[in-house]
């Protein structure tokens, strides 16, 4: 093809060399990325493909709506719990069930726990190696590393001896020749910019964060019994409260509340003394690498989450902001109506599904999904050995959702842009401070680095909100309210013959929605549109590219054999492919059985 | 990158990473107690670890949700960090590895060649067989192809979680992708099933550590699960069992009985039919488990648990076997059949060294 202008403002040109990254690692699920670079190794065409499909909503059809949380929770074990919460909210919306205040506080604490945990693990274990050169850390001087660490944070593990120990362990590990997960990384690539001391500090914190993350999730274990995949309940939460009487040890009691409280304190401390100082230090070395903005400067979407009061979905009651921004106009934040058939629609022109009329989009209440694995004429390779995809045809297991026809970015950066545009002080002030400290303008936020920074700031905000809701829970108990579940409409014979509802959360990766139709006490239709469906979407019938593809455009790749920059920008979204690729066949479909050999 | 002629032993690596002899022995003691073994086994574990190289592990992902990986990194004893960096060599794992694309593929190839017949294949998720396998594509090819390929020269295969062991949620009716448990596509290797959605972290690391320490696969039940962790029902060791025996039940969520921690049987608890270690090992370093936090067990380590009615339906077939009855006995009697066991003692030798074969215990 010659150059193509997309309606959302990008110029695509596939004339240059094609680079394939498959598998894209350090993500959840399976994903492939192909790009074309020009003679200067600048990306001029980007193709992102979701390469798995599980069909969970097909499986949900005909089941008990009260069980749906457990099924949908298994959409993703990384953002564990957020689908379950979205699901119970959708069922409660459909059936008109109000939950007790304590249940709202406990649900919020669990959701915020997920945000803090997920952001921390993403930064250190899925994303850091895009900025941090592990091998360079071998050259670090422990004393200089200690000085660096002590300059940026009061975190106590910062002595020269500590970093000397880490450095010698790392050296011996590398010399063993069995590099395990660090094997074959892009070490030494010129796109790595940290001095050895910053690399060593980051490696130390990679290991500390791996140890610490398992503590945060114990909050899920207290309230939900386990992590990953804690338990939830339509109508409230399953854990009862008993702080006084006989049998208190069988419920949420003072010891349990103290355990949660102590973990919240530790979480705030780790984020503020390790995560954020590291983030700012690393950003300082990359602040002129401002690629990767993609759609963030123009179109972002957030449903909002963390209701202060129970059962109130109004915009002002949500502590994570709600709204959509289009065409880069920060002065106007639009309200989003999940039930308006004209607003959210999904398209499949370039997805491996079939619609009767593929020029049209469908609202999730009327969603149809018929798998249709077909490759374009210009595909290189065969049906089961793909070398290059043909993006002019179908090329992904992800559908293309659009808001009023616009491709949108979702996630921490989207939430922070919406919050910033609304002037919410808890969001705007930390953003302004970080930008000032780094000497960067607001526009620098619209970048890979901005996405990574927003996630860190959000982790801090969420950790403090955990404290807020834990305190609120305790004061509500003190006021004599022990209720954790509303069972008035538990039995299906109390339900209307037909009902429909929608539930939302802000998952760590962005706006998440579930839509349910209930008929005769069973699920008649179930649809999810998840964050990575938005971000990882293929092209739509008009040719708009999605957020992943947009973010890669015009990025310079230092060494096309080591496409570090591609990983860096894709990882900044924290892709979750198991989430994104499982939409429903409304009418069921004939399943071809194949013989198991 | 440098490679050494002789792979380092586990002990070498631990010592070189600054672990003292004393800490090492303490670790062996903790491992022994984690495996419910007596102090007499500490020496056995120590000797095995002193003489063994780090075993390469290739960890593949099919159709799954990554909850098994997430659970694994929650392990408190041993720490996930120590397992991944010191005890074994995690040469391939899409979720954690630095490399991507063809550099990642090269890691797989290198280990398969260099450690032919001596690496462990760990599988999270399962292969879909419909649509020529293209419901799960890795490197442009069907995942099932990669699975068969990587299994070919493995010493043993671990099926992490319910997806790999039983099919789990994507295999629930009507299983639109024909998601298939791995033992149906890998038929010539010992497979250790570690079911659960996900399995408990310390059970996962316990199984791996057992294999490294004793140089054999654990004793398995007829379904292929390690008896040491899956030999008893949750109900058998549940701390709420006295309330069951006394007829004290939660009748409705958040009722007085729920606040007193009574038995959850009437609100659907599947503890009486679920074989797992939740009521003994518990979750997240022993903090709690589903029943302790007020929700019934949903039976996530049992085959087809998604298709056995609502999670809130009461278990109707309460068998009367005592605590001694494991899944095999219950299953055999229930099926009216005898003698269906499998050879679970096919001890495999992973990266074996002649001088410690005698250490294997049975």
Q: How large is the C-alpha radius of gyration of chain A?
A: 24
CB-count burial class (<10 Å; 0-12, 13-18, 19+) for B218: buried
Which of B3, B56, B141 lies at the smallest CB-CB distance from A384? B141
- Please tell me the distance in Å from A176's CA to the nearest CA on chain B: 7
Which of A178, A229, A245 lies at the smallest CB-CB distance from B89? A178
* Confidence check: pLDDT of B337 > 90: no
Residue pLDDT, tens place only, A75-112: 999 999 999 999 999 999 999 999 999 999 999 999 99
Residue pLDDT, tens place only, B77-136: 999 998 988 889 999 999 999 999 999 999 999 999 999 999 999 999 999 999 999 999
* Confidence check: pLDDT of B342 > 60: no
Residue pLDDT, tens place only, A450-469: 999 999 999 999 999 999 99
Residue pLDDT, tens place only, A526-545: 999 999 999 999 999 999 99
Write phi, then psi, for A382 (nearest 5 degrees).
-120, 180
* Confidence check: pLDDT of A425 > 70: yes
Q: Would you call B292 and A179 a contact, using CB atoms and an 8 Å cutoff?
A: no
A380-381 and A386-388 beta bridge pairing:
antiparallel
Helices within chain B (DSSP H only): 10-16, 21-34, 42-51, 67-72, 80-82, 101-114, 143-151, 161-166, 201-214, 227-230, 241-245, 256-259, 327-335
Mean pLDDT in residue range B185-196: 96
* Confidence check: pLDDT of A385 > 60: yes
Distances (CA, A) of B282 to A183, A225, A351, B254: 34, 9, 43, 23
Distances (CA, A) of B314 to A250, A500, A596, B308: 21, 27, 34, 11
- Please tell me the distance in Å from B322's CA to the nearest CA on chain A: 25
Residue pLDDT, tens place only, A221-255: 999 999 999 999 999 999 999 999 888 888 999 99
CB-count burial class (<10 Å; 0-12, 13-18, 19+) for B324: exposed
Contacts of B283 in chain A (CB under 8 A): 221, 225-227
Sheet holding B119-124, edge to edge: B88-93, B55-61, B119-124, B154-160, B191-194
What A355-359 contacts at long range (C-beta under 8 Å, 24+ apart), as own/partner pairs, is A358/A541, A359/A541
A239 is in an annotated binding site: no
Contacts of B254 in chain A (CB under 8 A): 236, 240, 483-485, 487
Q: Identify the band that residue B320 occupies on the pLDDT scale cut at 50, 70 and 90.
A: low
Contacts of A78 in chain B (CB under 8 A): 65-67, 70
What A14-18 contacts at long range (C-beta under 8 Å, 24+ apart), as own/partner pairs, is A14/A44, A14/A45, A15/A44, A16/A44, A16/A45, A17/A560, A18/A388
Token representation of residue A286: 């990359």
For helices B42-51 and B201-214, give the axis angle rounded to 10 degrees.
70
Contacts of B11 in chain A (CB under 8 A): none
Mean pLDDT in residue range B205-218: 91
Contacts of B145 in chain A (CB under 8 A): 384
Q: Would you call B8 and A176 a contact, using CB atoms and an 8 Å cutoff?
A: yes
Question: Binding site, residues of B?
Answer: 65, 68, 163, 197, 235, 238, 263, 269, 278, 297, 300
* Confidence check: pLDDT of A54 > 80: yes
Distances (CA, A) of A478 to A241, A282, A458, A481: 12, 44, 30, 7
| Angle made by CA atoms A420, A421, A424, in degrees to the nearest 5 | 50
Q: Would you call A181 and B98 a contact, using CB atoms and an 8 Å cutoff?
A: yes
Contacts of B134 in chain A (CB under 8 A): 373, 383-384
Which pLDDT score is estimated for A24? 93
- Please tell me the distance in Å from B287's CA to the nearest CA on chain A: 7
Which pLDDT score is estimated for B319? 59
Mean pLDDT in residue range B267-274: 97
Q: Would you call B169 and A56 a contact, using CB atoms and an 8 Å cutoff?
A: yes
In order of their start, the domains of chain B are 10-217+346-359 (3.40.50.700), 230-340 (4.10.480.10)
Residue pLDDT, tens place only, A199-219: 999 999 999 999 999 999 999
Which of A184, A246, A567 lies at the smallest CB-CB distance from B107? A184
Contacts of A50 in chain B (CB under 8 A): none
CB-count burial class (<10 Å; 0-12, 13-18, 19+) for A245: exposed
Write phi, then psi, for A18 (nearest 5 degrees).
-95, 130
Q: Would you call B287 and A178 a contact, using CB atoms and an 8 Å cutoff?
A: no
Mean pLDDT in residue range B314-318: 79
Q: Would you call A76 and B65 a contact, using CB atoms and an 8 Å cutoff?
A: yes
Which pLDDT score is estimated for B345? 28
Q: Identify the band that residue B335 occupies on the pLDDT scale cut at 50, 70 and 90.
A: very low
Token representation of residue A162: 């500590």
Q: What sign does the CA torsion over A385, A388, A393, A398 have?
A: positive
Contacts of A29 in chain B (CB under 8 A): 61, 66
Q: Would you call A176 and B16 a contact, using CB atoms and an 8 Å cutoff?
A: yes
Residue pLDDT, tens place only, A388-400: 999 999 999 999 9
Share of chain B above pLDDT 90, in %: 69
- Please tell me the distance in Å from A504's CA to the nearest CA on chain B: 20
Q: Identify the band that residue B352 occupies on the pLDDT scale cut at 50, 70 and 90.
A: very low
Token representation of residue A315: 């915009």
In angstroms, the first-to-last Cα distance of chain B is: 41
Which of A165, A210, A251 lies at the smallest CB-CB distance from B294? A251
Q: Identify the band that residue B15 occupies on the pLDDT scale cut at 50, 70 and 90.
A: low
What interface predicted TM-score (ipTM) does this complex get? 0.95
Which pLDDT score is estimated for A592? 34
Give the integer Cα–Cα distance in Å for A501 and A382: 43
| Range with lowest mean pLDDT among A370-374, B107-111, B278-282 | A370-374
Residue linked to tokens 């670790």: B27
Average pLDDT score over chain A: 94
Most A CBs within 10 Å, among B15, B18, B70, to test the A interface: B70
Which pLDDT score is estimated for B35? 60
Token representation of residue B347: 């001890």
A33 is in an annotated binding site: no
Contacts of A68 in chain B (CB under 8 A): none
* Confidence check: pLDDT of A2 > 70: yes
Give the integer Cα–Cα distance in Å for A82 and A411: 14
Token representation of residue A214: 């398992």
Q: Identify the band that residue A583 occupies on the pLDDT scale cut at 50, 70 and 90.
A: very low
Q: Would you call B91 and A178 a contact, using CB atoms and an 8 Å cutoff?
A: yes
Give the integer Cα–Cα distance in Å for B167 and B182: 8
Average pLDDT score over chain B: 84
A79 is in an annotated binding site: yes
Q: What sign does the CA torsion over A81, A113, A181, A42 have?
A: positive
Which residue in chain A is spatially nearest to B133 when comparing CA positions? Answer: A384
The candidate with the shortest Cα–Cα distance to A285, out of A209, A203, A204, A197, is A197
Share of chain A above pLDDT 90, in %: 91
Helices within A11-141 (DSSP H only): 56-60, 68-73, 82-95, 101-121
């Amino acid at each position: 093809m010659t150059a193509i202008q997309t309606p959302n403002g990008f110029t695509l040109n596939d004339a240059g060399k094609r680079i394939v990254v498959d598998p894209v690692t350090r993500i959840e699920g399976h994903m492939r990325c192909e790009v074309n670079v020009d003679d200067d190794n600048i990306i001029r065409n980007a193709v992102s493909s979701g390469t798995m499909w599980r069909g969970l909503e097909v499986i949900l059809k005909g089941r008990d709506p009260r069980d749906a949380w457990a099924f949908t929770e298994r959409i993703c074990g990384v953002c564990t719990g957020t689908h379950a919460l979205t699901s119970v909210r959708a069922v409660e919306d459909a059936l008109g069930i109000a939950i007790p205040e304590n249940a709202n506080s406990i649900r919020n604490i669990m959701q915020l726990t997920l945000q803090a945990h997920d952001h921390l693990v993403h930064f250190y274990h899925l994303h850091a190696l895009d900025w941090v050169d592990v091998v360079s850390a071998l050259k670090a001087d422990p004393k200089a590393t200690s000085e660096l660490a002590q300059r940026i944070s009061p975190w106590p593990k910062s002595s020269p001896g500590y970093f000397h120990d880490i450095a010698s362990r790392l050296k011996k590990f590398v010399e063993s020749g069995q590099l395990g997960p660090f094997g074959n990384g892009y070490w030494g690539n010129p796109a790595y910019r940290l001095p050895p001391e910053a690399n060593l500090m980051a490696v130390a914190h990679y290991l500390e964060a791996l140890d610490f993350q398992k503590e945060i999730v114990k909050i899920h274990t207290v309230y939900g019994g386990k992590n990953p995949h804690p338990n939830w309940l339509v109508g409230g939460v399953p854990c009862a409260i008993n702080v006084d009487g006989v049998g208190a040890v069988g419920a949420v009691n003072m010891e349990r509340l103290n355990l949660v409280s102590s973990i919240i304190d530790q979480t705030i401390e780790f984020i503020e003394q390790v995560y954020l100082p590291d983030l700012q230090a690393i950003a300082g070395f990359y602040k002129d690498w401002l690629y990767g903005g993609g759609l963030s400067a123009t179109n972002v979407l957030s449903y909002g989450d963390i209701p202060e009061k129970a059962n109130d979905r109004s915009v002002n009651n949500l502590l994570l902001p709600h709204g959509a921004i289009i065409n880069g106009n920060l002065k106007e934040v639009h309200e989003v109506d999940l039930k308006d058939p004209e607003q959210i629609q999904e398209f499949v022109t370039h997805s491996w599904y079939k619609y009767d009329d593929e020029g049209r989009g469908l609202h999730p209440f009327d969603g149809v999904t018929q798998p249709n694995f077909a490759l374009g004429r210009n595909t290189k390779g065969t049906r089961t050995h793909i070398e290059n995809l043909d993006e002019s045809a179908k090329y992904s297991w992800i559908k293309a959702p659009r808001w009023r026809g616009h491709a949108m970015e979702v996630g921490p950066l989207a939430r922070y842009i919406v919050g910033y545009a609304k002037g919410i002080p808890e969001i705007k002030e930390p953003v302004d401070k970080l930008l000032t400290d780094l000497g960067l303008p607001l526009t620098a936020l619209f970048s890979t680095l901005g996405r990574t920074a927003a996630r860190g700031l959000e982790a801090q905000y969420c950790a403090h909100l955990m404290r807020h809701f834990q305190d609120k829970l305790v004061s509500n108990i003190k006021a004599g309210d022990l209720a954790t579940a509303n069972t008035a409409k538990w039995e299906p014979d109390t339900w209307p013959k037909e009902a429909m509802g929608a539930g939302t959360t802000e998952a760590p990766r962005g706006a998440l929605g579930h839509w349910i139709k209930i008929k005769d006490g069973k699920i008649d239709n179930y649809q999810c549109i998840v964050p990575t469906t938005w971000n990882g979407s293929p092209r739509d019938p008009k040719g708009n590219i999605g957020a992943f593809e947009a973010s890669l455009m015009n990025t310079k790749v230092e060494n096309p054999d080591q496409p570090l920059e591609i990983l860096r920008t894709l990882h900044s979204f924290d892709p979750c492919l198991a989430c994104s690729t499982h939409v429903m066949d409304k009418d069921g479909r004939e399943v071809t059985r194949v013989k198991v050999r | 990158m440098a490679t050494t002629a002789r792979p380092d032993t586990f002990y070498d690596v631990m010592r070189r990473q600054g672990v003292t002899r004393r800490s090492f022995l303490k670790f062996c003691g903790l491992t022994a107690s984690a495996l419910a073994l007596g102090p007499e086994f500490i020496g056995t574990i120590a000797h095995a670890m002193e003489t063994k190289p780090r075993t390469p592990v290739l960890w593949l992902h099919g159709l799954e949700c990554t909850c098994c990986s997430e659970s694994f990194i929650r392990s408190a004893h041993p720490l996930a960090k120590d397992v991944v960096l010191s005890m074994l060599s995690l040469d391939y794992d899409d979720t954690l590895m630095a490399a991507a694309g063809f550099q990642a593929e090269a890691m797989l190839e290198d280990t398969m060649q260099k450690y032919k017949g001596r690496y462990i294949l760990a599988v999270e998720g399962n292969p879909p067989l419909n649509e020529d396998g293209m419901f799960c594509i890795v490197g442009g090819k069907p995942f099932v192809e990669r699975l068969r390929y990587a299994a070919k020269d493995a010493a043993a295969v671990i099926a992490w979680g319910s997806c790999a062991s039983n099919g789990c949620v994507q295999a629930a009716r009507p299983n639109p992708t024909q998601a298939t448990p791995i033992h149906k596509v890998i038929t010539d290797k010992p497979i250790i099933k570690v079911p659960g959605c996900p399995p408990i972290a310390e059970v996962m690391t316990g199984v791996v550590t057992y294999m490294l320490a004793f140089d054999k696969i654990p004793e398995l039940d007829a379904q292929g699960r390690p008896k040491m962790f899956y030999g008893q029902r949750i109900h058998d060791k549940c701390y709420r069992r006295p309330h069951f025996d006394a007829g004290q039940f939660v009748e409705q969520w958040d009722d007085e009985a729920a606040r007193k921690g009574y038995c959850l049987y009437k609100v659907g608890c599947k503890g009486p039919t679920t074989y797992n270690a939740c009521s003994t090992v518990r979750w997240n370093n022993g903090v709690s488990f589903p029943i302790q936090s007020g929700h019934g067990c949903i039976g996530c380590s049992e085959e087809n648990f998604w298709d056995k009615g609502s999670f809130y339906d009461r278990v109707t077939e309460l068998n009367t076997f005592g605590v001694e009855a494991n899944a095999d006995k219950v299953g055999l009697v229930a099926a009216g059949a005898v003698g269906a066991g499998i050879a679970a003692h096919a001890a495999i030798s992973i990266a074996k060294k002649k001088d410690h074969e005698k250490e294997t215990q049975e």
